[in-house]
Amino acid sequence: MNIRIATRKSPLALWQANFVKQQLLAAHPNLTVELIPMVTKGDVLLDSPLSKIGGKGLFVKQLEQAILNNEADIAVHSIKDIPAEFPEGLMLATICQRDEVRDAFVSNQYANLDQLPNGAIVGTSSLRRQCQLRAKYPHLQIKELRGNVGTRLAKLDNNEYDAIILASVGLKRLALEHRIKQYIDINLILPAVGQGAIGIETRSNDECLLSLLAPLDDNHSRQCIIAERAMNKALQGGCQVPIACYSQLNNDTLTLQGFVGCVDGSQIIRAELKGPASQAEQLGHNLAKQLLNQGADKILRELIDE
């Protein structure tokens, strides 16, 4: 049997698709696996901030369409990029073992965020990073930064920024870990929902494919990510709101940390919750409720009114 993997063409996306290919071949030596690389809207519209052009869904829609058109069998995504809801007939079949979750501080002159002087220019287009940076380091200037990992590093090296913030895991996968000056503590910048984990999307009714994918699923990571995604869904947080969530699993107990803020950093709402992993989804909902009660409802309402 041959399995066709729909993937974006960026080096990180290709790394992730190849990783899934190797895992599939290791579990089932008789398979053949083929990559179907595609350019998505999110890769083409590089001038506008993601939050203004329709959000993360831009990276996944074309890959989903390829599965629905039977041009591919599965799609490999960064779970961070997958919207809360799936199109009819598709599902998130597999959550692979999660890797490093923290954001990375990258700079050619400075060793960490604390060392940046007044007015230093920090590159990131993520509202989540912007908000948390502004709240803790109001003396910094934030400047938009898009493009794939290599493009972002090139812009830093071209002196357009004093420092940039990226997901550590992307640098690690591309053998660029040596560029990381500081792994940013999650108490400083809470990571994005699903950050550091790879997901596989496929047809919900394809029993054969689902059983081939089963060995790639990591139950520990699954519990954590189900809780995080449930929080995100309950908040209906698209790309317009700074939202973050990170959960850790210890001996069947999930510890969830959630965050909602406004982009200028003037408001930050954080909440923490513990509970049994068997209730991951409910815990995510409860965390969302807690955040809403602590004032996130007002932040979300104001955005809708704009």
Ligand X SMILES: NCc1[nH]cc(CCC(=O)O)c1CC(=O)O
Q: Which of the residues are catalytic?
A: 81
For residues 14 and 195, what is the distance between their CA atoms, to the nearest angstrom? 17
169 binds ligand X (CB under 6 A): yes
CA distances from 132 to 69, 123, 137 (A): 41, 13, 8
The CB-of-253 to ligand X minimum distance in angstroms stands at 24
Q: Which of 66, 96, 166, 280 lies at the binding interface for ligand X (CB under 6 A)?
A: 166
Q: Is 134 in the site for ligand X (CB under 6 A)?
A: no
Q: Which of residues 256-275 bind ligand X (CB under 6 A)?
A: none
The greatest distance separating any two alpha carbons of the chain, rounded to the nearest whole angstrom, comes to: 59
Tokens for 11, please give them: 């080096």
Stretch in the footprint of ligand X (CB under 6 A) among 33-41, 136-144, 167-175, 271-279: 167-175
Minimum gap (Å) between residue 66 Cβ and ligand X: 19
**Applying CB under 6 A, which of residues 170, 242, 258, 265 lies at the interface with ligand X?**
170
| The pair of three-digit structure tokens given for residue 148, joined into one six-digit string | 């794939």
Q: Cβ atoms within 10 A of the Cβ of 297, count?
A: 15
80 lines the binding site for ligand X (CB under 6 A): yes
Q: Binding to ligand X by residue 83, rule CB under 6 A?
A: no
Cα 305 to Cα 49, 296, 297: the distances in Å are 20, 14, 12
| By CB under 6 A, residue 78 contacts ligand X | yes
Tell which positions 180-239 bind ligand X, by CB under 6 A: 195-196
Q: In 3D, which of 173, 155, 123, 166 has the Cα closest to residue 13?
A: 173
Note the residues at the interface with ligand X (CB under 6 A): 78, 80-81, 166-167, 169-170, 195-196
